Amino acid sequence: MPPVDPLQLSMELRALVWDLARRMRVEAEPVGEVSWSAQSVLRRLRETPRMTSAELARAELVRPQSMNSTVASLREAGLIEGGRSATDGRRVELELTEQGRNTIEGMGVRRNAWLQERIESALDDAQRSELARAVGMLRTLVNEDPQP
């Protein structure tokens, strides 16, 4: 087998991930008018509650001004709330509201159901095992500090 060209592979992978992400967004559309960036913030706050807007901006790789806008829209929609830190009154820590938790969980349920159905219907057992290995490799690409 000839060596794989990393540039060609990266271009194909980027396009495929883009298409998958777009399809996943479409599968969650019935939830309402929650932008992709706002969905990402909701997911991150579910995983790591009590982050500040600045911490979210760094984690999401966006400018603080952009994150402030996203946070404001999520607060206005009642999906997140903020409060002063018990240990540092200057920090405004953000958390999901019950409505925010229900929203992000609903999106995940629909996306997972669609993806599970596609994996079950389009791939045989050997292909599913191969996909599981590929997921591990993709995780290695995404992590800045890959675990051995």
Query: pLDDT tens across 68-104, in order?
Result: 999 999 999 999 999 998 888 889 999 999 999 999 8
Residue 47 sits in which domain range? 14-142
Return the structure tokens found at 31.
């939830």
Range from 16-30, 95-109, 113-127 carrying the lowest mean pLDDT = 16-30
This prediction's pTM: 0.68
pLDDT greater than 70 at residue 66: yes
| Rounded distance between C-alpha atoms, residue 115 and residue 16, angstroms | 14
| Rounded distance between C-alpha atoms, residue 107 and residue 136, angstroms | 23
CATH assignment at residue 85 = 1.10.10.10
| Rounded distance between C-alpha atoms, residue 9 and residue 18, angstroms | 14
Return the structure tokens found at 96.
């999901």
Residue at 4 is within a domain: no
